[in-house]
Each structure stands twice: as C-alpha cells, then as structure tokens.
Amino acid sequence: FPPTPLTILHTSDILLLLTYGILHEALLRLYLHQKSKRTSHERKLQIHLATLRYEAARKRALGPSAFVEASKLERAVLATEKELGRLVEDREARTAKAGKVVKRLNLFSNVVILLVYWGVAMLAVDGSRIGLGNESNGEDGYLEKGIERANAFWAGLWFPMSY
C-alpha cells in the first residue's frame, strides 16, 4: 500500500476521546445497573413470600382442620405481596430517574465534546500529494485539483463500495 499523505493526525486526541467514551459508557452502565438491581430487602422478601405461599398451600391441602392457619398464612401472603409491590414500584421509579440522569449526562457530554473539538481537525489529507500523475506544480488550478483529489481520496476511503 502506498503511504497515506496525512498532514494532520492528532493521535493523542483520538486516543483521549476513545478512552473517555469507553470510561463514560462503562460508568453510566454501572450506575444504571446499581439503580435498577433489586435490593437485599426485596430479595429477602421474595424468598419469604415463596416460603409463605408454600406453607399456605400445604395448610390448604390438609383440609378444613387447618383452615384457620391457612387463612392466616394467606393474609400474610397478601400483605407480603403488597409490600413487595411497593418495593418494585420504588425500584422502577429509581430506574426511570436514573435513566433521565444518564440521558442528561450524555447530552452534556456530547455538547462539551462538540464545543471543545469544534474546528479541530483530527485527521487531514494533503491533496497535493495524491496521485500527481502528469501534472506539474506550475499548472493553473493546481490547488483546486489537489482539493478534488483529497475529497476523492476520502470518499474512496470511507465509502469504498460506492459507484
């Protein structure tokens, strides 16, 4: 492959932006995961609810002689389900709030990067060094042809299958 005629290549800025993007995404995903996971109290309550349901079903299977114990257990199941439902709603509200925070942070981050790097060329191609062929430096319109060659080079680099 012939060497690419680059005039500007800010590798440190490119690496900085890539590193920032990786860290930003990882931290936001960790934050979302922390806010959306079940609490230890919620997990304990689910285990307790499963145990209560099992005991209530077992008492119901004993027949009318265990009716009082079965009805107490069923009321405890209902109360536990109600408390668990409240905890699930709280978790969903936390998750929605965290989603809004993440959306605002992403917007803020994009705006800051746009403002900092607006007008900074990360990569530039020197069109005068691309495919000189039979042209000479003294020819009229040499700069325009260099720009055309640079544009054609970029189009071929980024869209190689376009016709």
Q: What is the pLDDT of residues 60-82, one digit of tens each?
A: 998 888 889 999 999 999 999 99
Which of the pair, 141 or 147, is modelled with greater confidence? 147
User: Comparing C-alpha atoms, which of 86, 79, 40 is closest to residue 56?
Assistant: 79
pLDDT at position 139: 57
pLDDT of 97 higher than 80: yes
Whether 99 contacts 36, CB under 8 Å: no
pLDDT of 121 higher than 90: no
Residue 9 pLDDT class (50, 70, 90 cuts): confident
Q: What is the mean pLDDT of residues 112-120?
A: 88
pLDDT at position 74: 94
Instruction: Report pTM.
Output: 0.66
pLDDT at position 5: 65
Residue 127 pLDDT class (50, 70, 90 cuts): low
Percent of the chain whose predicted confidence (pLDDT) is above 70: 82
Residue 133 pLDDT class (50, 70, 90 cuts): low
pLDDT at position 158: 73
Rounded CA-CA distance 94/112 in Å is 27
Report residue 143 as tokens: 């700069």
Whether 14 contacts 122, CB under 8 Å: yes
Cβ neighbors of 138 (< 8 A, separation 6 or more) are: none
Give the position of tokens 């000479």: 136
Which of the pair, 81 or 149, is modelled with greater confidence? 81
